Amino acid sequence: MKKAVVLLSGGLDSVTTLALAQSQGYQCHALSFDYGQIHAAELGAAIRAAQQYAVAEHKIIRAGLGDLGGSALTDRSIPVPEQPGSGIPVTYVPARNTLFLAFALGWAEVLGALDIFIGVNAVDYSGYPDCRPEYIEAFAKLANLATRSGIEGRHFSIHAPLIQLTKADIIRTGIRLGVDYAETISCYNADEQGLACRVCDACRFRAQGFAEAGVTDPTRYRT
Amino acid sequence: MKKAVVLLSGGLDSVTTLALAQSQGYQCHALSFDYGQIHAAELGAAIRAAQQYAVAEHKIIRAGLGDLGGSALTDRSIPVPEQPGSGIPVTYVPARNTLFLAFALGWAEVLGALDIFIGVNAVDYSGYPDCRPEYIEAFAKLANLATRSGIEGRHFSIHAPLIQLTKADIIRTGIRLGVDYAETISCYNADEQGLACRVCDACRFRAQGFAEAGVTDPTRYRT
């Protein structure tokens, strides 16, 4: 069985990505981060998904990204927008996916895995630069220059299977694979119980996805 | 004054890099990591260097790279080699520079800085893949795709001013700039007092550099 490292935040996209990797026959090693995110309830969702899919191993790594500040997701003094805006929103966490992929690459190298899965999406998304196909391609190039495996001619694949799907298509894919979306947490404002705010970007894209897919939204909202 | 983020381990190369960045007129923001390294005494050297150069700010970030294992620098069950070997040695920490540069990129983005300094060297070095010029170039490309600044046309520069220097040239450069090498710690086996082992790769390259530069080796050795 081929090993893969799967980045798992506990949100709709990453849990679907885990289900996909599992369905493709990979032995999955799930990787989550306690990075100072205010919506840390997502880690509970990550743990439940890792259990449901019986992953080979699930690591939760401490990474002090929140110490750098500069994002509404890590700094309580910057409010999460409740209306759609233009440009890159304040929920953008500088270099977050580069950091997550760096850890995934390190773990893959230790495990002898060459496949890394990340649930980024560049269709129904917040416009973060590090969710675009050209970014993922650049990381793959970097990965092969950065590592022992790359130098020895064993090349890494960075799989972003959702990158060109609509949110509705992601949900349809997950439902086909048995994902329990009630257990996933996408909300940027999720409270300690994991209840969603309904108004942030992440909630809006998610609710719209369920509506477009014709699926009853199972999200647990606060109001 | 232009701001720069300077990666600062506390070793000979990174302290020289800080001195160089400072001498070029950058306002320096130093970044160090508590990543599970066994030779954590280097962090004391980083703090002293940050003080000596009166950096604008010095952050020490927790990053659980040691939780991934697979390196003699983070796993006490893997001994640090006491003889030169061939190939990439077991002191290689998978994805370490990618992780360090990811944090530096995130901080630079928050600070509005576009210059990142890293003290990698590809001449008198342990053969780590993520110390080579092609790796640094690939990271610069990634940085401009990963970030708000990059998208807005403000491009990052990843400065690796030591990359093509011999260790003797690095030492000559640092001495010209007033670096106190007695206060730097390079040893992979440094003990809690920061005393060096004399036999690891890092000690050997360092001692050879002082010899070639005709400078008395100020390193504090255990024996």
pLDDT along chain B (223 residues), means of 10: 97 98 98 95 97 97 94 94 91 96 98 98 92 97 96 96 97 97 96 96 96 97 92
pTM beyond 0.95: the answer is yes
Determine which of A148, A152, A154, A158 to mutate to test the interface with B (most B C-beta atoms within 10 Å): A148
Contact B109 A142 (CB under 8 A): no
**Residue in B closest to A133 by C-alpha:** B145
Contact in structure between B179 and B205 (CB atoms under 8 Å)? no
A219 within some domain: no
Residues 6 or more apart whose CB falls under 8 angstroms from that of B181 comprise B12, B15, B171, B174, B175, B210, B218, B219
| DSSP code of residue B214 | T
Q: In this predicted structure, what is the pLDDT of residue B30? A: 98
Q: Which residues of chain B lie closer than 8 angstroms to A148, CB-CB?
A: 88, 92, 94, 129
Q: Note whether residue A187 is domain-resident.
A: yes
Q: Say what the pLDDT of residue A176 is.
A: 97
User: CA separation (Å) from B193 to A205, B40, B188, B197?
Assistant: 54, 10, 13, 12
For residues A14, B111, B184, B11, the Cα torsion angle rounded to the nearest 10 degrees is 40
- Domain extent, residue B191, equals 3-213
**Has residue A141 been placed in a domain?**
yes
Q: How far is B177 from chain A (nearest CA, A)?
A: 30
Tokens of B1: 């004054």
State the burial class of residue B77 (Cβ atoms within 10 Å of its Cβ: 0-12, 13-18, 19+): exposed
Does the residue B222 lie in any domain? Answer: no
Shortest Cα distance, chain A CAs vs residue B194, angstroms:
25
Question: Does residue B1 contact residue B26 with C-beta atoms inside 8 Å?
Answer: yes
Side-by-side strand order, sheet with A27-34: A57-62, A27-34, A3-7, A115-117, A157-159
Which residue of B99, B132, B147 is in closest CB contact with A129? B147
E strands along chain B, which residues?
3-7, 27-34, 57-62, 115-117, 157-159
Angle value at C-alpha B24, between B46 and B59, nearest 5 degrees: 30
Domains identified in chain A, total number: 1
| Contact criterion met (CB below 8 Å) for B10 and B49 | yes
- Give a yes or no: residue B90 inside a domain: yes
Q: List b or e across B196-220, with b for residues whose CB sees 16 or more CB atoms inside 10 angstroms.
A: bbbbbbbbbbbbebbeebeeebebe
Cβ pair A146:B134 closer than 8 A = no
- Kindly state whether residue B35 falls inside one of the protein's structural domains: yes
Give the helix ranges, DSSP H, for chain A.
12-23, 42-52, 96-111, 133-146, 148-151, 167-176, 201-213
| Cα distances (angstroms) measured from residue B139 to each of A144, B98, B133, B164, B180 | 12, 8, 10, 17, 31
B118 within some domain: yes
Specify the CATH number for the domain of residue A120.
Answer: 3.40.50.620
CB contact under 8 A, B94 and A106: yes
Q: Do A68 and B106 touch (CB under 8 A)?
A: yes
Report the b/e string of A129-149 with b at 16+ CB within 10 A: bbbbeebbebbbbbbbbbbbb
User: Which residues from chain B sit within 8 angstroms of residue A135, using beta carbons?
Assistant: 142, 145-146
Could you tell me the sign of the dihedral formed by the alpha carbons of A136, A138, A142, A145, in that order? positive
Q: DSSP label at B5? A: E
Does residue A222 lie in a domain region? no
Per-residue pLDDT of chain A (223 residues; tens, 9 = 90+): 999 999 999 999 999 999 999 999 999 999 999 999 999 999 999 999 999 999 999 999 999 999 999 999 999 999 999 998 888 999 999 999 999 999 999 999 999 999 999 999 999 888 999 999 999 999 999 999 999 999 999 999 999 999 999 999 999 999 999 999 999 999 999 999 999 999 999 999 999 999 999 999 999 999 8
Distance from A31 to chain B by nearest Cα, in Å?
10
